[in-house]
Structure 1
Amino acid sequence: MKTKALGSQGVMTSELGLGCMGMSDFYGSHDNESSLKTLKRAYELGVTFWDTSDMYGPYLNEELLAKALKGIREHITVATKFGIIRYPDEPMKRGTNGKPEYVQSACEASLKRLQIDTIDLYYLHRKDPATPIEVTVEAMGKLVQQGKVRGLGLSEVSVTTLRKAHAVHPITAVQSEYSLWSREPEDGLLQTCKELGIAVVPYSPLGRGFLTGQIKRFEDFEENDSRRLMPRFQGENFNKNFELVYKVEALAKEKGCKPSQLALAWVLAQGEYIFPIPGTKHIKYLEENVAALDVKLTAEDLEAINAIAPKGVASGERYAEAAMKLVNQ
């Protein structure tokens, strides 16, 4: 496992990260003891870039990571996020808050839950339409001055927003959905991050698990799995998108690897400044993801992959309508 510079602000971390959301929320049932074993195994394998958020649970995922960090904190790059508001009485409702006073209080609350003194990478999870990005980032910059945060991140922002933010305080990383079936970052975001020395952190690099080939039917999702509400997994979209999975499986077979490893190797091949964070709560899949680092794609391989997964290949939006309004802001 290589350790690389995450952006240009002095943060170093593993080339492959671990998305921890599904350990506590959104993807069906969860088991804390099993997740803690997975986190321990991640550390053993050198996967030391762990990604969470205050809204996962909410709060439960940060509290889970606090347990896993005991005794190994100095070896882990902890990334968490703020800015998405959830409402206990309306589980499906989401709000945003990027006001300076909230930036400060949210950070202090995350530090307390994680039981650490400094957050290595602190993201604005979604831009608050009611607060100029310059105002939010200025407040985030004060957290760096206070020693509570090492690097600043943004999630699902437009190139225009990124440039405005970076002019106020250097941005370390931008997190966006990026995979074989979500290639929107190629429309300017990747190029801008490379130009400015900003890392790109793809979440859902395996298409929310779909590109692994493990999900065969809509019914494979548990009743409380949020993917049931996402257009790409519904009705005819599911069937159309599975055609891509078949093609990925065929290429992977030729390459002598698993579909998930081919899909992840493709993301890794897009640049040294890219740090994918595939999420899993199972040791088996974690180990498979790490093995993707050994899959080397030739120019011919990349050409074949691009042929079956051009931009716009997916049928259906990434999120339901309300959530789509908050991405690429």
Structure 2
Amino acid sequence: MRTIEIKGLDKPVTCLIQGSDYFKHNVYDKVRTVLDGFFAAGGNTIDTAYIYCGGESEETIGRWMKDRGNRQEVIILTKGAHHDKNGPKVNPEAIASDLATSLERLGTDYIDLYALHRDDPAVPVSIIIDALNEHIRAGKVRAIGASNWTTARLQEANEYAASKGLAGFTFNSPNLSLAKAKEPFWTGCVSADEDYCAWHEEHQLPLLSWSSQARGFFTGRFTPEVRDNADLVRVFYSDANWERLYRAEELGKRKGVSTIQIALAYVLNQPFPTAALIGAQSPEELASCKEGSEIRLTPDEVRWLEHG
């Protein structure tokens, strides 16, 4: 499986990252089967978060690593500092608390990739970077990143880190997909548009995309007339996205692959390092994703998928 390098890690990250937002103890047999299959297929990175499944996502991943005795082979991407009912939690105390809980749930003493799930622009980047570097120095975190941050805040944070000789963000995890979001899927979420991607190309910061296949938009189940998924209608139903879907269908036919595999290949053939978070729940879905990850697109094909 193709890989990318992320500064701070001593091993590469596979271009497919297994998502875990459905991992619970009552489906542990399924969790085990999914993760065993993903690693057998060459994957090595799992995405989770402090808030997923009330903590069960991290717990079941920790359970699986203990059962398999393979912690050293696994790259864990987890996220903290998501807001709660009281508001934003992007501060040193909340970060420390969420990180400690995640470490306990996962049954490990370090996180490979630690991302801040949300931003709070009211908090200076200096406070955030200083706090995260304390955890790097303590050996609890290998590399730090962000999810759902603007490029302006990412750049400000990394410029501060560089000025102080500190570790900055070495990866970013917004949404990036061939279907462009009309509005945030969840409040405060960030989707990479053309300007956002141009910034990533300039800085060559690795991008780990969530909802990389637009939550099923390219599966063939949805058409302009099928409107039974309110969130998909709200976020992705637009004339421009239907045109992108039709072009993906056309290119898929020319290459002998499926539309959704072209959508995945679009994410993995950007002019900067990318990986795609996937939600494969069966061997068939995993095989489709792996085949999609192997498709090479030219820059002209990527541009044509976007703009025609």
TM-score of the aligned structures, taking structure 2 as reference length: 0.83
Partners in 1 of 2:28 and 2:300 — Cα distance?
A: 42
| AA in 2 matched with 1:232 | V
Q: Which residue, out of 195, 201, 205, partners 2:208?
A: 201
Q: Tell me by how many angstroms 1:248 deviates.
A: 2.3
| Paired residues of 1:4 and 1:12 also in contact (CA < 8 A) | no
Question: Is the counterpart of residue 253 in structure 1 residue 253 in structure 2?
Answer: yes
| Bigger relative contact order (CA 8 A; separation at least 6) | 1
Question: Is the counterpart of residue 189 in structure 1 residue 204 in structure 2?
Answer: no
Distance 1:60 1:242, change over 3 A: farther
Q: Tell me by how many angstroms 1:137 deviates.
A: 2.1
Give structure 1 regions of 4+ aligned residues with deviation exceeding 6 angstroms: none
Partners in 2 of 1:190 and 1:4 — Cα distance?
A: 17
Q: Which residue, out of 206, 229, 234, partners 1:231?
A: 234
| Paired residues of 1:16 and 1:290 also in contact (CA < 8 A) | no
Partners in 2 of 1:62 and 1:31 — Cα distance?
A: 14
| Paired residues of 1:20 and 1:61 also in contact (CA < 8 A) | no
Give unpaired runs (5+ residues) of structure 1: 88-93, 222-226, 309-329
Q: Tell me by how many angstroms 1:194 deviates.
A: 4.5
Partners in 2 of 1:187 and 1:302 — Cα distance?
A: 12
Q: Which residue, out of 150, 156, 174, partners 1:158?
A: 150
| AA in 1 matched with 2:44 | T
| Paired residues of 1:218 and 1:238 also in contact (CA < 8 A) | no
TM-score of the aligned structures, taking structure 1 as reference length: 0.78
The residue number in structure 1 matching 2:268 is 268
The residue number in structure 1 matching 2:282 is 282
3-state secondary structure, aligned to 1:68: helix
The CA deviation string for residues 184-217 of structure 1, in whole angstroms up to 9 with x for no partner, is 6354433444544521111111111212224464
| AA in 2 matched with 1:263 | A
RMSD over aligned CA atoms reads 2.7
| AA in 2 matched with 1:292 | G
Q: Tell me by how many angstroms 1:244 deviates.
A: 4.2
Question: Is the counterpart of residue 20 in structure 1 residue 19 in structure 2?
Answer: yes
| Paired residues of 1:213 and 1:245 also in contact (CA < 8 A) | no
Distance 1:46 1:171, change over 3 A: same
Partners in 2 of 1:150 and 1:102 — Cα distance?
A: 19
3-state secondary structure, aligned to 1:84: coil
Question: Is the counterpart of residue 36 in structure 1 residue 32 in structure 2?
Answer: yes
Match runs of 1:55-70 below 5 Å: 55-70=51-66
Distance 1:240 1:9, change over 3 A: closer
| Paired residues of 1:175 and 1:202 also in contact (CA < 8 A) | yes
Count of aligned pairs between the two proteins: 288
| AA in 2 matched with 1:258 | S
| AA in 1 matched with 2:176 | Y
Partners in 1 of 2:247 and 2:3 — Cα distance?
A: 32
Give unpaired runs (5+ residues) of structure 2: 162-166, 182-190
Distance 1:196 1:11, change over 3 A: farther
Partners in 2 of 1:197 and 1:240 — Cα distance?
A: 27
| AA in 2 matched with 1:105 | S
